[in-house]
Structure 1
Amino acid sequence: MLTSPVPRQAVLIVNAKSRRGQAMFDEARTKIAAAGIELIDCHAVRDPAKLNDTVRGAVRSGAPMVIVGGGDGSLSCVVDDVVGKDCVFAVLPLGTANSFARTLGLPLDLDGAIDAIASGRRRRIDLGMIDDDYFANCAAMGLSPMIGDTVPHNLKKYLGRIGYLGWAVWCFFRFRPFRLMIDDGTREHRMWATEVRMLNGRFHGGVEMTETTDVDSGDMVIQVVAGRKLWKLVVDWYGKFFRLRSRDAGIREFRGRELRLDTRPHHRISIDGEVLARTPVTVRVAQRAIEVVVPG
């Protein structure tokens, strides 16, 4: 099936609070224009609370494409604003992990990402949903929200993945397993868990978590690091980081268009790195929700 070409006009919106956002804004604006895309407007958003309003305003103004620069949290919080709209969503990966960009197959350097936008193609993709909130890539509960909720201000910005990893180790020794209940519409599954990932894409924290799903699969994958032993969580991340053959040992996976999750005790949920929800929740897929730009 033929698809329309990538628009040649766009609004550029960069989260200037993301790790590389402020430093890259002027360079991105110059290089995007040089690549043949006319920028109708440009915004370096220094207050993250205004990011949604800025994207919403660009969409309402009739922009055929919005190019958003930032990390996974920035991208995830604004995808709601293009759902159901005649506006293409393009990504400049300026964050720490850039999991959504990895899932889309985008280069992680600025020149490569801009070239992918200028010479790329449209792709209609699914989004995940936690209750009524859309998200782009992955939600998680367990250790990830504990890290995201307590990480010191600006640690990721100045130290990147190394600083984030150091804080993760600190949190690991204060974390406790929890009871998990998953209702897949047929039966309820009960188990102990140390981490739960709700995957719309393949990556979480910059690491490939699964090869069995994609952003147009039409369903969600719930991946559980099962059991009460914290060392299994370490083994799981180690295996996935180094892509070992045994990397899925100890993992339980559930699939579906809609699943109900609860925990004892109730747990906070990070959505693409931002702690925004708390169990119990309904996890569902929003099929073919937005159009994005991917490499041609």
Structure 2
Amino acid sequence: MRSKDELQSAIREAGRAVLVVNALSRRGRRMYGTARDLLKAAGLEFVEVFPVTDPERLGGLFEDALALEPDLVVVGGGDGTVAEAVGHLAHRDVALGVLPLGTTNNFARSLELPLDLAGAVEVLRNGKVADVDVGWFEGTTHGAPDDPAGAGAGPSKHIFANMVSLGLSVHVAEHVPHELKRIMGRAAYAVTAARLLPRHEAFDATIRIGDQTYRMATHQLNVANGAHHSGRRIARDASPDDRLLAVYRLGDRRRLQLASATARHVLTGPWRSLTEDAFITTDHVHIETDPPLDVDVDGEIRGRTPVTIRLLGNALRVLVPGSFVDT
């Protein structure tokens, strides 16, 4: 592995770069041409460009991209596309560059990247290489549809960039209309959540961290590596480079408490601290729920409880603004 300075120098000295753009993301289709023009104007050249038109092929495209042995992989898309990239680039001597083209762009926000294309391209041209944390998720997959007892279920393991969540947000992600998301952006999730909340059932969670056990009832439980959820900061001192996972719930068993806790989270996130009682910070957590629940990992249903989540410190190399605090 090269040092960060060595990799940064290689990128700036006409190193090998590839571009993966999700043409299906919210802004990808209409901004693809603009992005290419800005990249060209900035003098950024790519040995290969991979436009993504079939999400099922995304993993294969990253394998093809890495086979070219690049120094830099630039990804244009939303959090789902970035999450797929992180799974392939973690623990590699390759930097990830991000063009935020999604709806919420949580990972880009956590890296303090500009959300406008011109600003993001400027970071690709003059930013620095930083090492940031990612998470490791282990859960259980579903059995086959004709196997209701789950005898065919097996382990599910994934690297993630930003967030593992369970509860109402999983149902929202499954039911938010694509057209509504295209028109309303982040607000589509809030509208869908309001529609689903009256019928959503609370669950009991048992959280084990070392020799400590926490038990709670809630409608929503999150485990964050990054600093943002639904486009909002979760705490002023949260960062994808702090060697911490932040475990927190939104409200208790009462539905109105979920609504008020979510509003409080949105309004006070930039001023809250991870040291407050609302958060449990750790680098390793095991979660069981009653009943067992589907788990959302960076926007995709990746498994079912019980789950174990670990931090992988400094496992990913990224291009960030010079102001980003890299520890």
Pick the TM interval, shorter chain: over 0.9
Return the TM-score normalized by structure 2. Answer: 0.85
Cα separation, 1, equivalents of 2:115 and 2:299: 18
Residue 19 of structure 1: aligned partner: 26
Uncovered stretches (5+) of structure 1, i.e. residues with no partner: none
Within a 5 Å distance, the mapping from 1:59-70 to structure 2 comes to 59-70=66-77
Quickly say closer, same or farther: Cα 1:171–1:255, change in 2 above 3 A. Answer: same
Q: Structure 2 unaligned runs (5+)? A: 139-156, 323-327
Contact 1:223 1:251 in 2 (8 A): no
Q: Is the 8 A contact 2:236 2:269 kept in 1?
A: no
Residue from 291, 303, 312 that aligns with 1:265 = 291
In 2: Cα distance, 1:199 partner to 1:23 partner: 31
Q: CA deviation at 1:253?
A: 2.0
Counterpart residue number, 1:106: 113
Q: Tell me the distance in 2 between the aligned counterparts of 1:125 and 1:2.
A: 12
- Tell me the residue number matched to 1:141: 166
- Residue 127 of structure 1 contacts residue 286 of structure 1 at CA under 8 Å; is this kept in 2? yes
Which residue in the other structure is 1:3 paired with?
5
Q: What is the alpha-carbon distance in structure 2 between the residues aligned to residue 279 and residue 244 of structure 1? A: 27
Residue in structure 2 matched with residue 292 of structure 1 by the alignment: 318
CA-based RMSD: 2.0
**2:250 matches 1:225:** yes
Does the 8 Å contact 1:18/1:157 carry over to 2? Answer: no
Instruction: Describe the superposition over 1:245-296 as per-residue Cα deviations: whole angstroms up to 9, x where unpaired.
Output: 9978x96322222110010011111122222221100011111111001012
Instruction: Name the amino acid aligned to 1:222.
Output: V
Q: 2: CA distance between counterparts of 1:75 and 1:162?
A: 21
Q: Which among 204, 211, 215 is matched to residue 186 of structure 1?
A: 211
Identity of aligned residues (%): 33
1:268 counterpart letter in structure 2: D
Matched letter for residue 37 of structure 1:
L
**Which residue is equivalent to 2:240?**
215
8 Å contact 1:16–1:46 — kept in the other structure? yes
Cα offset for 1:157?
A: 2.5
Contact 1:125–1:289 (Cα < 8 Å) also in 2: yes
Q: Decide whether the 8 Å contact of 1:191 with 1:226 is kept in 2.
A: no
Q: What SS is found at the alignment partner of 1:95?
A: coil
Aligned length: 295
Secondary structure of the residue aligned to 2:112 is coil
Check the 8 A contact 2:163/2:229 in 1, yes or no: yes
Task: List per-residue Cα deviations over 1:89-112 (Å, max 9, x = no partner).
Answer: 011111111111110000111111
Q: Which SS does the other structure have where 2:199 is aligned?
A: coil
